[in-house]
Structure 1
């Protein structure tokens, strides 16, 4: 092994000594001033791609001398494509891009995204990067290699219900927009990616902002913001067919097509997708279907676009997780677990399934054949962009999101008295329904002149929701489709923001941003407490200030301070009349320094996020008997995010990130149910670790290009210990894990076929046994403190292969 490593180092050192062939240049606009164009994609067939910097410059390493096809593209400009012959060690190509005679600026996205010089920690993913990572898994798995990200999957293979945390904060604290329009569920504030099957196949760019970030529409950002854009302009007709298959009977079929520019003004783009998987977990199956349609009218100063997309999901539920004793195959503790929870396993089949040694990592408590979640979500978006003059652009959008579906479950031995019926016990099948409309408008105006840029914007949204439950079968006679609860909820959200950027000189730029947000949430009852009326009205002021620096040598940096406020979610309001939750406030300090060069880049971002009244689980039972989150006065997240990339030679490049952090609650009190004496026992901590907040998260990607148009990538992810609750107890935690995926891709080109992309991804290359999510609860019984941990394991070695044909 030592000789092999020395040999590889010698080969690598020899490659580094020999000068590489390079293609460099500057991309500018074809006008009187030849303005530099930043963020343009420069592609060299078979040799990767790069983006131009703030000065419009680019630099690409090439495998050898020869003739290459160079393609340069960016929004609002005509695509540049030219054959370039490289003979010298460095070949320069200065390009003038011609502006499209059409208004193609995505004002709705520009208004809320952070530009290159804005003082916020961010990561941008281009269409090419998204395509390379898109194997049919949900969005979190595409974002897995970005900084401070930890992902999970109920079914264990990334299809179905998935989740994401950024800087330790969960999806309810991550603001997400689709073309500038809010996506978070209005009541829970969560992100349900399962309702957007294969949506990333229609996405052309993603921006992830970490921390409070710049003002956006929708839920308050307490850990990150995700901005997805689908409004891509395709000048020429195209068609794409993608098919994939993999482990656990996973299949993916996607068909995309576009008309190109019709009559110099119209475009139509569409997609249909089908994804099916049995899942790694028993009965963790998913049947996902989606469609996307976008039609646009564009002229020189105006664009009008209508988007309609829908997702339908049917997923068998695996959300109970696996008891720790079962997962570890510990026979003694499994008997203890069974004795402590005998009421859950009241049939011989239940017991046999629990004690079956062949399914320890794939065990699913649910066995009813239709224990499924069934939901359809349909989005309608109408977006209008207009250029008033060279300085002013305006945007407005109207949207409607329609959601309808239910969760069906089998319940044994239910007391029908709890359902408003006779006091008898019976097995039943029930459905818990959601029926909602989410609609509203967003708007923005941008002014840009010389060194000043000013943006006004905001949104008004309304949520009308119904929650009801139906008994669809019972052992004893009940009225047909009997509804035992039928509740409503309403939520309005209005915000207005102003952003100002000032270029102080060639290197320094100042930024100021302030947002006013009003939220009114009215809840007319809860399933378990139908007479409890709750909710609240909130007024927030969210200011941000920052300064950024950049010079021509590739040095950049920023410093910023932001305040974010966030309302409680629906479950928090179930605390009761006397224990209403308070809103949360976050003070976010960020500082960054980085350097970008043609063959390497690095970045260091430090952050301190201090929370006032953060809502966390404490185990406390509120005055209506529910375990809801409680405000803790003081808590914080402090860390450093390190990023680096290197391309020493044309056939190899590497990128990596590492986040080191401390995530603490000060003066925390845990409440434990005491079944021996009644009530709850209190355990006090002066300082303890926030749940699901690992102190170290790292991602490393190694890319090898052994042949032209071929790439081999090794993707590595490390996550340190995560605690299941807020006590910092190692016995209630997820073990650290390091997992690697191996990806192969190869591109073929034919005369009548634009591209044929072959890909194969081997997930969990070294077959690690690890978990990414879980939960814990404890109680005192028989003089002992009993802890029950449940985990969600990920699949062992598995694969996904596919072929994409582009015409």
Structure 2
């Protein structure tokens, strides 16, 4: 049962690093591979709160759902899916903090979008099939490349070098016509130094929500050179996604009458018949090119240089009824003696961007110290523009005319020094300091058809320190403090030109216990914010969540994790987060008057989040797990408005894995099954809340009107797959 024990501890991050379970038998390559993420990861006994997930753990449920869904059962994590089934537009929040405040890196290269600060997992179709391991750090975590982390950072390490040639064919199918097809290969080491590996994937789904379809095509290709002290990797991966929109959500009446209804693309034809435009889609392509050079000079010194270029381009296509000519710069027409100044049309709103990154770090390590010095520079250049591709009345417009056009540029330079110092047999000191300079400039006209000019420069100093005390070989205590600062994103500036950067002081106090068949983590955190950019509950006209400064606020919580091997066959792992998340001074406008609400709950921050996994493994070849997730009640506003309340929910999944070892052309055949939400819970994991002032009903009074939208999630559904390994 050794394999099971390691897998359990790895999933919970209780001191077993993901590299312990690597299957590659190229020992030197493994150690050099780890250098790719050494600058952004922490060790098991670090005073940083974290969880490690290995490729074996990801494979158990890797049947087409996005990475946030695969991480759903980690501590303090809440996930959601626009299409309702975990494929397409998905996101996660950690400790209630929005995804715009989560930093994501791939091999140490920032992946989080530089301008929106969002992570669009839909552009990483089937990427979990190319992940060797990942680490999720909660809170500020360690200094990392790219934008700072305010709720979490997720660091992904891609496939390690394989010594032996391998191949894999994986196919899965499930509810809502969901399917995944994956082909992987590795040449193994050629001439003991060179390896080429790659993956081709296609994921598609009709979605739980009506017409919320997804079509993802992706590839991953890696060429490696390795010897005793050198690892060079050239990596390219790309994804093309076409996703039918479902970010409008539905109101309460629709939720009760037809929870799968999707208003996207709805219009009336000339006969007054309701139709749905079949191309109300996101159509986006993203290509990544990375080059990594890891060098070990001797037993103490090593270095890493990483280069990246990302090219992204695509559009959101939308049918519009009776839009004003003035919006698009059209001149009025006279048709059959009638003045025409509105038209039905189809428009595309484009993004076209380039992103360059250079990372470099050097590491010194001996029995007493482990010091890393690093620097990172990135440059983002993104064009935003709109085109009308069809109009019933096109006026004087020409093909490829742009009715708005703007640009955003961002330079991000950071340098950091971090070190772990073994003071004696019991005390270990962690020190970390980062200086980060960010310049963001915009020009031109935005999609709201207004001039959008931003020129902001930020200089941030982010110190961190922590101490680990080893009580004995089974118990560690740790304490850490971290200061973090983070700039606003493009949507923040569009929503509020006077937006301020957010700052955070993060205090973490924890206890880790490992002995025999029990592992336990307890972590208390206090996150005190200045001008936290909290979700307002509103979304903009393309479904992006809006944020605003909240003055002083805090998040206070306790995270508990346990892994117990109950017997040779049964293992239980649980986690629960209890928290209080408060804005300290909330003032809102209601019915034309300012109202001081005092302390209020922060939006989208449930006070209880928990997960449970009971695993039965009678043999090495068969495993079945019962997985439960609970998310407590939360508000979609910062005003605790009753209409904005989201009910608590609990879901339960069953995961089956059976491995058939053969002596034919296949090394093994793996059968995987996943039944999600087996009790058919009708739940909503996300939504939005908005208000507006009504001055039309009675010109003498102002009445504040509330509105909500909901994103329902799928009831009982399944995915099943077969993987051929050779």
What's the TM-score, normalizing by structure 1? 0.82
Contact 2:125–2:239 under 8 Å retained in 1: yes
Q: Partner residue of 2:478?
A: 558
The partner residue of 1:598 within 516, 529, 537 is 516
Q: Partner residue of 2:290?
A: 381
CA distance in 2, matches of 1:644, 1:143: 17
CA 1:220–1:103: 2 relative to 1, 3 Å? closer
The partner residue of 2:66 within 113, 124, 138 is 138
Question: 1:455 offset after TM fit, Å?
Answer: 0.4
Alignment of 1:229-244 (within 5 A): 229-244=157-172
Task: Verify: 1:653 aligned to 2:565, yes or no.
Answer: no
Q: Which has the higher contact order (CA 8 A, sep 6+)?
A: 2
Q: Deviations over 1:366-393 (max 9, x none)?
A: 9211000000111000000001111110
The partner residue of 1:640 within 551, 558, 564 is 558
CA distance in 1, matches of 2:318, 2:10: 54
CA distance in 1, matches of 2:549, 2:568: 53
Alignment of 1:63-212 (within 5 A): 78=25, 100=28, 104-212=32-140
CA distance in 2, matches of 1:330, 1:803: 34
Q: Partner residue of 1:356?
A: none
Q: Partner residue of 1:730?
A: 642
Task: Verify: 1:301 aligned to 2:214, yes or no.
Answer: no
Question: 1:787 offset after TM fit, Å?
Answer: 2.0
CA distance in 1, matches of 2:644, 2:273: 27
Task: Give the secondary-structure state (helix, strand or coil) at the position aligned to 2:551.
Answer: strand
Q: Deviations over 1:108-158 (max 9, x none)?
A: 201210111211110001111111121210000110000000000010000
Q: Which has the larger radius of gyration?
A: 1
Question: 1:77 offset after TM fit, Å?
Answer: 8.7
Deviates more, 1:502-511 or 1:537-546: 502-511
CA distance in 2, matches of 1:794, 1:114: 35
CA distance in 1, matches of 2:288, 2:152: 23
CA distance in 1, matches of 2:625, 2:678: 12
Question: 1:685 offset after TM fit, Å?
Answer: 1.1
Question: 1:482 offset after TM fit, Å?
Answer: 2.0
Task: Verify: 1:616 aligned to 2:525, yes or no.
Answer: no
Task: Verify: 1:763 aligned to 2:682, yes or no.
Answer: no
Q: Partner residue of 2:343?
A: 426
CA 1:524–1:728: 2 relative to 1, 3 Å? same
CA 1:376–1:703: 2 relative to 1, 3 Å? same
Q: Partner residue of 1:416?
A: 325
Contact 1:607–1:640 under 8 Å retained in 2: yes
CA 1:786–1:520: 2 relative to 1, 3 Å? same
Name the Cα RMSD after superposition. Answer: 2.8
In the alignment, structure 2 segments of 5+ residues that lack a partner are: 333-340
In the alignment, structure 1 segments of 5+ residues that lack a partner are: 1-22, 24-41, 59-71, 80-98, 332-340, 354-365, 675-679
The partner residue of 1:694 within 591, 601, 606 is 606
The partner residue of 2:357 within 440, 443, 457 is 440
CA 1:606–1:459: 2 relative to 1, 3 Å? same
Contact 2:467–2:479 under 8 Å retained in 1: yes
CA distance in 1, matches of 2:402, 2:431: 52
CA distance in 2, matches of 1:395, 1:547: 27
Task: Give the secondary-structure state (helix, strand or coil) at the position aligned to 1:104.
Answer: helix
The partner residue of 1:568 within 488, 500, 507 is 488
Question: 1:528 offset after TM fit, Å?
Answer: 1.6
Task: Give the secondary-structure state (helix, strand or coil) at the position aligned to 1:456.
Answer: strand
Task: Give the secondary-structure state (helix, strand or coil) at the position aligned to 2:531.
Answer: strand
Alignment of 1:211-222 (within 5 A): 211-222=139-150
Contact 2:410–2:440 under 8 Å retained in 1: yes
Q: Deviations over 1:453-476 (max 9, x none)?
A: 110012000001100100000011
CA 1:721–1:464: 2 relative to 1, 3 Å? same
The partner residue of 2:415 within 496, 503, 516 is 496
Q: Deviations over 1:275-314 (max 9, x none)?
A: 1110000100001110000001111211111000001100
Q: Deviations over 1:637-691 (max 9, x none)?
A: 000001111112011001010000000001112235x6xxxxx543321100000
Question: 1:494 offset after TM fit, Å?
Answer: 0.3
Task: Verify: 1:670 aligned to 2:588, yes or no.
Answer: yes
Question: 1:627 offset after TM fit, Å?
Answer: 11
Question: 1:556 offset after TM fit, Å?
Answer: 1.5
Task: Verify: 1:749 aligned to 2:661, yes or no.
Answer: yes
Task: Verify: 1:540 aligned to 2:471, yes or no.
Answer: no
Question: 1:745 offset after TM fit, Å?
Answer: 1.2
Contact 2:428–2:468 under 8 Å retained in 1: yes
Task: Give the secondary-structure state (helix, strand or coil) at the position aligned to 1:417.
Answer: helix
CA 1:216–1:706: 2 relative to 1, 3 Å? same
Question: 1:449 offset after TM fit, Å?
Answer: 1.7
Task: Give the secondary-structure state (helix, strand or coil) at the position aligned to 1:649.
Answer: coil
Equivalent residue pairs, number: 698
Task: Give the secondary-structure state (helix, strand or coil) at the position aligned to 1:630.
Answer: strand
Contact 1:401–1:437 under 8 Å retained in 2: yes
Question: 1:75 offset after TM fit, Å?
Answer: 6.7
Contact 1:102–1:298 under 8 Å retained in 2: no
Task: Give the secondary-structure state (helix, strand or coil) at the position aligned to 2:87.
Answer: coil
Question: 1:57 offset after TM fit, Å?
Answer: 11
Question: 1:102 offset after TM fit, Å?
Answer: 8.8
Contact 1:666–1:687 under 8 Å retained in 2: yes
CA distance in 1, matches of 2:719, 2:647: 26
Task: Give the secondary-structure state (helix, strand or coil) at the position aligned to 2:58.
Answer: helix
Task: Verify: 1:487 aligned to 2:406, yes or no.
Answer: yes
Question: 1:580 offset after TM fit, Å?
Answer: 2.1
